Amino acid sequence: MTGDDLLKMMQGARAAAVMKAALELEVFESLAGEGRSPGEVAVAVGADPRGMRILLDALAALGVVERDGKHYSLAPVAAEHLVKGGPGYLGGSGQLLTSDHMWRMLGSLPEAVRHGGAVFEDSADTPDHPFWSQFARLTEEMAAMGGARLASLVSAWAKTRRPLSILDIACGTGLYGYSVATEHPHAQVTSQDWPNVLAETRRIALERGLAGRASFVPGDAFEVRLGGPHDLIILSLFLHHFDESRCRLMLDRVARALAPGGKIAIHALAPSGEAPHTDPAPFVFSAVMLAWTRAGEAYPVEFYRRLCQAVGLGTFETHRSAETPSTMMIASRE
């Protein structure tokens, strides 16, 4: 790494701010199709022509927009991932990652390091925190990808479970459970999350034609009745919010709600065990958890393996994604 690399790293907030403005103003949608001038884009999104010219040039410098004379068009990567409605859309996640809440939370990182955890009263486990309904609304496309991945991993096994009872804890969009249920008409899904989040989950279940096979459990995942026995219990992007004792408590709860021969799917950004610079995303995410939670962090795969074994789950598989730094872990009760 060079001094220039360090400067680029520290200037990352500038690039994020440019992307935040473009996503909020729906600049990428306005550029879909033929090239347009800054004035034309400004009229389309209700902005100032000079301000739009400066923003478009910044986007061109970042490589997501191309400039030809006085006209601008989408770079291929933006056409694929930043226009709403496309199968590879990442703009929702981009809006979440550059949201005002995220800026505020990351700005508190120095204090979080001093204190060993989140310094705001409204941390990740605050009941009905509005961030989580925003999270569900803006990560639908990414959750659909993760759900499809889980569905493919359990497909052969799920065909043998009739009926197939699925419990999705802290479900957000609900799409991990709904993706499995879409492939298996005999499946029923119980979606659990805070009440404000389940408003988004219900909408998605209805849109996916699964309302008749979905039920909803509002409240704190550590306190609500989990019911069961369930064949598949999903914990996606959840356990890293808590310390080891809380993770153990949750896994013990879900293990008690699991049917014989059932599976628990844990989805997490888990360090691979290599040096941090060879696998940076989980380690940087762990710093985010430091600022956003009281005691959470990105745990390695072996952490989850050990806790699953401690609650009586014998088989443990890991599936690292080639597209993202996340890992799907599937523990089974024989």
CATH code of the domain occupying 130-332: 3.40.50.150
Please give the average per-residue pLDDT across 45-63, as a whole number: 97
Separation between Cα atoms, residue 266 and residue 258, nearest integer Å: 14
pLDDT category at 78 given cuts 50, 70, 90 is: very high
Question: How far, in whole angstroms, is CA 128 from its chain's centroid?
Answer: 18
| 266-304 pLDDT, tens digit each | 999 998 777 888 888 999 999 999 999 999 999 999 999
Per-residue pLDDT of 232-272, as tens digits, reads 999 999 999 999 999 999 999 999 999 999 999 999 999 87
Distance between start and end Cα atoms, the chain: 48
- CATH 1.10.10.10 residue window(s) in the chain: 3-91
Calpha distance 155→333 (Å, rounded): 17
Read off the tokens for 8.
């680029």
- Does domain 3-91 sit in CATH 1.10.10.10? yes
Query: Coil, strand, or helix at residue 73?
Result: strand
Q: Where in the chain is the domain with CATH 3.40.50.150?
A: 130-332
Q: What is the mean pLDDT of the chain?
A: 94
At residue 228 the predicted structure's pLDDT band, cuts being 50, 70 and 90, is confident
Pairwise CA distance, residues 323 & 207, whole Å: 27
**According to the model, what pLDDT value does residue 74 have?**
96
pTM above 0.85, yes or no: yes
Among 35-44, 104-113, 274-283, 306-315, the minimum mean pLDDT is found in 274-283
Rounded CA-CA distance 156/88 in Å is 26
Structure tokens at 332: 């089974």
